[in-house]
Amino acid sequence: MQIVKNFIDGEFVDSVEGKTFDKRSPIDNSVIARVAEAGQADVDRAVRAAKAARNGVWGGLTTDQRVDLLYGVADEITRRFEDFVAAEMADTGQPRHVMTHVFIPRGAANFKVFADIIKNVPTESFQMATPDGRGALNYGLRVPKGVVGVISPWNAPFLLMTWKVAPALACGNTVVVKPSEETPLTAALLGEVMNKVGIPRGVYNVVNGFGPASAGEYLTRNQGVDAITFTGETRTGTTIMQAAAQGMRDVSFELGGKNAGIVFADADFDAAVEGIFRSAFLNSGQVCLGTERVYVERPIFERFVAALKQKAEAVKFGRPDDPEANYGPLISDEHRRKVLSYYAKAVEEGATVVTGGGVPDMPAALAQGNWVQPTIWTGLPETASVVREEVFGPCCHIRPFDSEDEVVNLANDNDYGLSTTIWTTNLTRAHRMAARIEVGITWINSWFLRDLRTAFGGSKQSGIGREGGVHSLEFYTEMRNVCVKL
């Protein structure tokens, strides 16, 4: 069994109190790692180390020197690609192709992209007139915030964690990361990478543990943390925001979603079925940008439901490295219970179960894993729980619609506003709708296609702020103005 320690001030350490917790495999619930649980003293030490590095060696580097080190991190992740793939497969139980195509390459890309951005981004400058006619020159200076607390979820652990760590470090901050208790492995591996490429001690720290009364809460309450970036549930974000209010610390939040997928009768039918299949079921439905509400124009409704059902029934459950398998389990037994309780509720509230709704038969060796069937419902009112609330599982409700106005109103009738995906060959209509749907990201004839230079974030209860490209700099730096009288 693997031992996972905290990574503080460049060293892998046990927690002062000696507490540990078990990390279980999603595929069979066996214990695969014993993880050091950081207590208050460990978190405080990590924050002090981060502060010392920020005020010391890391703060003294030029942008070019930092950028070179971050390129080194990206290269070392790529060199150790297989180690990262193996760690993330063990943590999440998701198929190898998801790791090799999305989760791990994006981790390396995050470091490259933000290194490039910080090297090339200009600051602003304004000249102004003064009564003596000589004028004044204003120019902006970008400075790092200081120590950034990074709190990340389990659904795409390495991708989402590095999406925050990379811009934070590129901008000259130092970080203390609290990865999800469900997925501690790749954050620890990244510590090895940091040491290997010569990132100074204290720049990247990892404290393991849970949220309330554990490492997460200790980190967000620590007044040495200057800003907090968080990805996770909206409810958790509310608690973290309350903690951040003490000391007036800035927050960046990427939160939950209940995203609509919209398919018009004029869409490329096969592409739309494939696109909605991916958006509803990739990563076993555990994608914040995923589609749990699907609206299909009435003339193709029956045909669309039948085609999606066929694809959902064709998935092959199995181990991540099984070449015959293409479908993984949910992250934990607790999450499976939650998803299955929504499956039961959908039936209670009158759903027609088109497919799924339960647990697949698995061979004995995997029978204890967190498997659930991809599930499609029809026939529910918009007030039903599975139509309003984020399930975060492999499921969607499909409803017919008759007009553009109707479907825009349906899409917007939700507290969340993260993303939407629209399938149509009428691009005039698609552009018009993109401006009307209240989300941070609209995909047209695509889904999860990400250019890392673009703004990423949620509207309404799906987030605060935008990360990605230069937008990340708004959070990870502070702009100062210098005014020079000429």
Q: Give the footprint of ligand NAD on this chain (CB under 6 A).
A: 151-155, 160, 178, 180-181, 210-212, 216-217, 220, 231-233, 236, 239-240, 254-257, 288, 390, 392, 418, 458, 462-463
Cβ nearer to ligand NAD, comparing 72 with 211: 211
Angle at 282 between CA 326 and CA 388, to 5 degrees: 140
- As a whole number of angstroms, the distance between CA 345 and CA 337 comes to 12
Cβ nearer to ligand NAD, comparing 229 with 378: 229
- As a whole number of angstroms, the distance between CA 220 and CA 225 comes to 7
CB of 146 to ligand NAD, least distance (A): 19
Residue nearest to ligand NAD (CB): 211
Closest CA to 482 of 121, 126, 45: 126
Residues annotated as catalytic are: 254
Beta carbons within 8 Å of 277's beta carbon, 6+ residues apart: 308, 311, 312
- Amino acid letter, 446: S
CB of 133 to ligand NAD, least distance (A): 52
Cβ nearer to ligand NAD, comparing 175 with 272: 175
CB of 416 to ligand NAD, least distance (A): 9
CB of 278 to ligand NAD, least distance (A): 16
- As a whole number of angstroms, the distance between CA 288 and CA 278 comes to 13
- As a whole number of angstroms, the distance between CA 280 and CA 275 comes to 9
Question: CA dist 228 to 40, 41, 88, 167, 367, Å?
Answer: 17, 19, 24, 13, 39
Bridge partners (DSSP) listed for residue 174: 147
Cβ nearer to ligand NAD, comparing 25 with 155: 155
CB of 71 to ligand NAD, least distance (A): 25
Cβ nearer to ligand NAD, comparing 162 with 378: 162
Cβ nearer to ligand NAD, comparing 40 with 378: 40
Strands, E, within 321-411: which ranges?
352-355, 375-378, 395-401
What is the number of alpha carbons within 13 Å of residue 287 lying toward its C-beta?
27
The DSSP-derived string for 140-208 is: EEEEE-SEEEEE--SSSHHHHHHHHHHHHHHTT-EEEEE--TT--HHHHHHHHHHHHHTPPTTSEEE--
CB of 102 to ligand NAD, least distance (A): 13
In the three-class reduction of DSSP (H, G, I as helix; E, B as strand; rest coil), residue 277 is classed as helix
